[in-house]
Structure 1
Amino acid sequence: MADQRPPLSSVCDFATWEPVLRLMLADDADRRAARSARVAGRISRTGWSLAHRGSMSSTARSAVVGIQRALAHGGVQEIAFRAEARPDGGTTLGLVWPSPSVEPAVGYPDLGVLVLADGALPEPWLRRPDPVPGAVPAPSADPELLERTLREQLPDAVGATEEEIAAAEARLGVALSDELKVLYRVTRVDWRDDFAAAGRAGRAVGCELSGLDTLFAVDAAVRHPGWALGAERTVSTAPDAAVQGLAGSPGWIAFGSNGGDEFAVDLTPGPAGHFGQVILVDHEQSLGAELVADSLTDFVLGRVREERRERRGDEPAAEARIGAGYLGTVRAAARPALEVLSIGAWDGTPFSLVPLTGLPRLRTLTAMPGTLADPLEVAGLTGLEFLELGAREWRALLDAGAVPRTLKAAAIKVRDQDHLPVVAVANEILALWDRPRIVQTLIEGDLGPAA
């Protein structure tokens, strides 16, 4: 079990947080009505997420900056907090410290995602390319024309030997396309030894060209945006798609960039694609790639596609939302292709999950607190890898010993009444997988009655 960073004593003083709490509770309706009020947020070394209206007072800003400095001094990336202020002003503040088991929430005060196995990834980031035994190069692929064009523009270039090309293929585990071999026979590209020559080669090809020894396959895991964003994503490959709906492929061989995105030769094209086509892997996207040119010859000659297809080939049947403004029943969402189901805010009768039982591909379920008729029906969903429920729903599963052991990650959706108990529930979930626990420091203070 990994060691956890001990709390910083410099931020474990209620007075340090009092200006922040007062800022967030200033317009709280519960506090004005003499009811307990609850708030939550996060402060990192470089930013903060605090729910409040209007501008931040200088006192609160100074408090936040002081906390940030303490985090930086102690080597802590961020701290989450949650607090309950009772009608008499007595306040309990919980400081939640970073844990190797928690993927921090982004932009909102929830605890974050509990990662139940090191390196666990959602299914789309594990998907391998479908076989493409019939894929052939595009008619425009012309290794001889490509070689003549490059040699005319790079008459003094030094190319790679056949042995060096074979070594690159062995390292990558794939046979390179004929066009890519031609490219490196003309110029092996070495930014370390001859920066100027490498720059000329890049201008001739049309991108910042990689050297033969730095070619790499686009790794799906590197593109993973985290469970909070990734668990509800789906991909598919349409019958007329040129590029397979993937996060990465051992056949996407990145050979250059535009300064941020990667250009790759695609050796595992989609049903309507060509072997060796050039695709763009956008660094702002976590799934998919777009077709740029039908061949490397086209790419070098500037014959690129002006109209590009959608980066993702989502299949609507794989995703469903239930709740206000969406579907009104679980049965309407239940279909064999369903992978991701989200149950949002709902004021009607809570939903039964029975219609989902036995669905072969359902891997993600998120449900707002109070929307499930019987949380134990989750046990009938045998393929879940991600589950997000309210603390009370998790409590029911834990008490019944019914937490699905197929899970790779989990999250607790926080509502007001769950702010402080949520860490205890999270630690019970982590204990089932023998994962490092979360440290929460509880501090008592007094904000006085609401004005």
Structure 2
Amino acid sequence: MTTGLQAAARRLALGLRAGAGHSGPAVVWMRIDGGATQITHPVGVDVDLEPDFFDARSALTELLPVPTGGRPLVVELVVRDTGFELACSTALESVTGVVLDDDFRLPAHPLPGMPLPAASKPTGAPTDPAALAEVSALFREFVERYQEIKGRPPALGPGYSEQEIAAAEAELGARLPEDLRALYRMTRDDASETGLLGRYSPYPLDDVVEYHQPGSLGWNDGPFDDAVVFESDPPDTIKRLSRNDWWITFATDFAMNDLAVDLDPAAQGRSGQVFEYGRDVHGPPDYYAESVTEILTGVVEALREGDYEDEDPDEDYLQIHAGFGGAGFDERVYHDFGSRDLAEVVESADDAQRMYLNDAVTLDLAALAPLANLRELRINRAKLVTPALGDQPALESLAIEADRIDLAALAHQPTIWDLKLAGAAEPLDIAVLRTLPALTRLDLSDADVEDITPVAELPDLRVLTLNAAQWNALREADLRPPNLAAASRAGTGSLRDTADWCEWLTGNPIPLTTVSGSTS
């Protein structure tokens, strides 16, 4: 008897087989988290998936167990010439990994629940009269100059009442900056993109409230993500965090970039400062302006000076060159590094926060000492690396792929919490890892290790990625790292293999839902 789940799985299998374009097994892994699906082809052969596959996936997920507690739905589908096997679980983080502590966060990745600065507590008081007067004068001048250019007023509707703003703040749990309140007294939004905030347009307050959910506005907060948080420019203005409860998004460019007001600034910042984030902002949030008032002032001054473009008078859009943002993020990538002198490279990279050194011959990392802002270093395909970093005050993440790694030189490095080692022609002695006081996340899955058991002696290690053989060696010795928050079993093993490994690691059963059938 064919069940609904079996029928849906068979339809998915037929879609995978049609897209594979080859005989023999085809495998797909899916991680379904809310409305997002991450698809991986673990056997190294990409599959050109057809729309029918995604339609079948939607039908399948309606029949599978619903994830609880923020867990994704993890699915493995194997299709052979004559049949298919599907397995799924909601107890894992992926087909290769598991999260053991849902409240764990890597450094600079805070959980929701951060205290609200006292100055931003809702009061119900009306907007500050001085701020209202200044913003309303700028707003009126913008309207007048726009009308002079376009021959009609901007399509900006009436603003919110004080009561409506206070109601939105009650939902947010914070009082908006006075100048942003004043702006919302003038208009509800700028859906027509008139240029009121330059290339950005304020959201309606309903959207501001909706987008400000607990845990929102966070980047790479998972235990296996690229999680180094970089410093914004100017330094110490925006807190170096992946998220903050009191960063409130209020404007958009309708192209996946947004502006947020910062109610919880760093020591050199000010409450109400504005930063930019989104698709075109690489690295940390990009400091944009000290206030909403400064943006409005810049827009009006650009109109006074004729610094704008009106490419289509029939359209509402007015391109105004107000000159905010764009400080950028200093990342250095050196391809074919060869035998270059690392010290000479360092002389021109003093502000670099992330650096990639590719295909180097010999690297003594002591030469990096002058790079006081370097937080992440990736070395790929080197011949010999000596990681004698000394007192590198900012370095948090180090990845080394090399034929030879003089690992002893890494001893007692005080700030690295994220380490990945790969390659090495001879097995590595990892005993030195015991001397790294900040080590929180470790990946040895692509390294030949002389003895893996020292990883079970690292009480502060929270995230560990090993390959199947390395995990098996720990299992045979009955050694489990004591305080893991997340673990991953790298490679192309099956979901059943991962569930078995996870049951050993945690001592808890991992339920799997399975179904199989014929594709003929």
Larger displacement relative to structure 2 (39-48 or 159-168): 39-48
CA displacement at 1:269 relative to structure 2: 2.9
Which whole-Å deviations, capped at 9, do the CAs of 1:11-55 have from their partners, x for residues lacking one?
A: 499999889999377xxxxxxxxxxxxx874166997737567x9
Structure 2 counterpart SS, 1:102: coil
Partner of 1:288: 284
Task: State the identity %.
Answer: 20
From the two aligned structures, give the one with the greater strand fraction. Answer: 2
Q: For residues 399-424 of structure 1, give each alpha carbon's deviation from its aligned partner in whole angstroms, at most 9, with x where no partner exists.
A: 44532353232211116xx5587335
Q: AA paired with 1:296?
A: V
Is 1:304 the equivalent of 2:316?
Answer: no
- Aligned-partner SS, 1:347: strand
The AA in structure 1 aligned to 2:285 is A
Aligned mates of 1:98, 1:81 — CA distance in 2: 9
- 1:115 matched to which residue of 2? 99
Asked if residue 101 in structure 1 is aligned to residue 91 in structure 2, the reply is yes
Shift of 1:182: 1.7
Rounded Cα–Cα distance in structure 2 between residues aligned with 1:237 and 1:133: 25
Whether the aligned pair in 2 keeps the contact of 1:322 and 1:328 (CA below 8 Å) is no
Indicate which of 350, 368, 374 corresponds to 2:428.
350
Q: Distance in 1 between matches of 2:496 and 2:488?
A: 14
What secondary structure sits across from 1:244 in the alignment?
A: coil
RMSD after superposition:
4.8
CA distance in 1, matches of 2:203, 2:14: 55
Please name the residue that 2:205 is paired with: 212
SS at match of 2:259: strand
Give the match for residue 276 of structure 1.
Answer: 272
Partner SS for 2:241: coil
CA gap 1:333/1:297 in 2 versus in 1, 3 angstroms: farther
Equivalent position of 2:175 in the other structure: 175
Residue 142 of structure 1 deviates from its aligned partner by 7.0
Q: Which residue of 1 aligns with 2:191?
A: 199
Question: Which residue matches 1:74?
Answer: 60
Deviations 1:377-396 (A, max 9, x none): 11222222321111122233
Cα separation, partners in 2 of 1:267 and 1:20, compared to 1, 3 Å: closer
Q: Which residue is equivalent to 2:263?
A: 267
Question: Which residue of structure 1 aligns with residue 41 of structure 2?
Answer: 49
* Offset from partner CA, 1:288-320 (integer Å, 9 cap, x none): 311122321222233433542318966241011
Instruction: Compute the displacement of 1:114 (Å).
Output: 1.7
CA contact (8 A) 2:179 2:292 kept: yes
CA distance in 1 between partners of 2:273 and 2:427 (Å): 52
> CA 1:21–1:236 in structure 2 vs 1: closer, same or farther (change >3 Å)?
closer
Normalising by structure 1, report the TM-score: 0.67
Match of 1:23 in 2: 22
Please state how far the C-alpha of 1:342 moved relative to its aligned partner: 0.6
2:422 pairs with 1:422: no
Alpha carbons of structure 1 residues 131 and 11: separation in structure 2 relative to 1, 3 Å: closer
Q: Is residue 2:490 matched to residue 1:437?
A: no
Tell me the CA shift for residue 324 of structure 1: 1.3
User: Aligned ranges for residues 372-387 of structure 1 at < 5 Å?
Assistant: 372-387=449-464
Match for 2:137 among 135, 143, 148?
148
Contact 1:320–1:333, Cα closer than 8 Å, also in 2: no
Separation of aligned partners in 1, 2:53 and 2:159: 56
Structure 1 133/322 Cα, relative in aligned 2: closer, same or farther at 3 Å? Answer: farther
| Structure 1 position 218, deviation (Å) | 7.6
1:143 offset after TM fit, Å? 6.1
TM-score w.r.t. the length of structure 2 is 0.60
Deviation string 1:175-195 (CA, Å, 9 cap, x unpaired) is 3222112212323x1x7xxxx
**1:40–1:334 distance in 2 versus 1, CA, 3 Å:** farther
Residue 238 of structure 2: aligned partner: 243
| C-alpha contact (below 8 Å) 1:121/1:221 kept by paired residues | no
Q: Supply the distance in 2 between the matched residues of 1:72 and 1:7 (Cα, whole angstroms).
A: 14
- Cα displacement (A) at 1:332: 1.8
Shift of 1:169: 3.4
Instruction: Mark the CA change 1:366 to 1:50 in structure 2 (over 3 Å): closer, same or farther.
Output: closer
Q: Which piece of structure 1 moves more, 176-185 or 71-80?
A: 71-80
Q: Which amino acid aligns with 1:23?
A: H
Q: Provide Cα deviations, 1:305-363, integer angstroms capped at 9, x if missing partner.
A: 354231896624101123316854164275121110112123212332x3222644322
Distance 1:180 1:158 in 2: 15
Tell me the number of residue pairs that the alignment of Structure 1 and Structure 2 aligns.
391
User: CA, structure 1 residues 237+326, in 2 after alignment: closer, same or farther (shift >3 Å)?
Assistant: farther
In structure 2, the gaps of 5 or more residues are 31-36, 65-72, 120-129, 145-155, 300-321, 332-352, 355-374, 377-394
> Larger deviation: 251-260 or 395-404?
395-404
Aligned partners of 2:411 and 2:240: how far apart in 1? Answer: 23
Please list every run of 5 or more consecutive structure 1 residues that lacks an aligned counterpart in the other structure. 26-38, 86-90, 105-110, 135-140, 192-197, 445-451
- Distance change >3 Å, CA 286–CA 436, structure 1 → 2: farther
